Amino acid sequence: MVGELIRWWNPGGALLQAVLAVILGMGAAAALDSRRLAHVQGAASALFVLVLPPLQNPGSRIMDAAIGGVLGLIGSQILFTPDPVGLVSVAARRVLESVEASLRSSAAGLEKKDAIVAAIAVERAREARSELSELAAQRMIAHRIRTRTLRGLRRAARLRHLEDRLDHLDMLVAAVLLLAYAAEETTSTDTEAKPDGLSDFLVAAANDAGTLNEVLAERSRGKHPIVHLSANVPKTLSESATVLAQTAVDALVAFAPIKPNPT
């Protein structure tokens, strides 16, 4: 459209028209997209229109360009824009899945006194920590969608509501990783005793992580199921295990705006 307008205006010689096409083409592209590639494409498109011979009258081409631009905006802003809440929810659910798997493996390792199963729990906890990086990347993409598209603006409130709780996943993953290390160390010792109540707590925490995963899926679809958390820190744990278990419980509770079951 910029190139056709310059051709219609005809401000001067070919050099002046080319300069104006580059400046105005890049300016129009910059108003719609901050990426440098888009700026170059805008300038190149304007130059192509000037160089190529006109196939129809300028008014018709301007109208075609306007219709194409409107259709492009509808597609990019509404029809084909990813759901920012869905992007973040999927990444957060992967973290919760790894957390749940780690907790269950740690509990099984303690119950069976199986160092291999306990080591698997450590690996799953490490996977959860790695998936936090993917979650951070998806949050950045969701932020750009929220600020630049109509669909993002419509989902902004729900996205902010979700992101207000996502930081608690970092504490949850850290606590679960340390609990997995503690369980692995316990299974590698010669003693037959296992920490009283720890395996039961790990199972309950795994159930809560699975429940929150399902709740997250439902809320990304606009539903708000009412659930309760069940994990409570046993008083029989050692001091260090109590701190880690309480951190995990607090993170689970803070991630979802729901209260745990009363003791």
Give the domain ranges of the chain: 2-79, 84-255
Residue type, 196: D
Fold type of domain 84-255: Methane Monooxygenase Hydroxylase; Chain G, domain 1 (1.20.58)
Please give the pLDDT value at position 119. 94
Please give the pLDDT value at position 64. 55
Would you place residue 143 in the very low, low, confident or very high pLDDT band (cuts 50, 70, 90)?
Answer: confident
Angle between helix axes 2-9 and 58-74 (nearest 10 degrees) is 160
Would you place residue 63 in the very low, low, confident or very high pLDDT band (cuts 50, 70, 90)?
Answer: low
Residue 142 in this model has a pLDDT that exceeds 60: yes
In angstroms, the CA 85 to CA 162 distance is: 8
In degrees and rounded to multiples of 5, residue 236 shows phi and psi of -90, -5
In angstroms, the CA 178 to CA 244 distance is: 7
Residue 191 in this model has a pLDDT that exceeds 90: no
Residue type, 222: G
Mean pLDDT of 128-139: 92
DSSP H or E run through 74? helix 58-74
Lowest average pLDDT, out of 19-28, 29-38, 113-122, 191-200, goes to: 29-38
Q: What is the pLDDT of residues 75-87, one digit of tens each?
A: 444 544 678 888 8
Residue 121 in this model has a pLDDT that exceeds 60: yes
Please give the pLDDT value at position 75. 46
In angstroms, the CA 99 to CA 176 distance is: 7
The whole-model pTM stands at 0.67
Please give the pLDDT value at position 117. 94
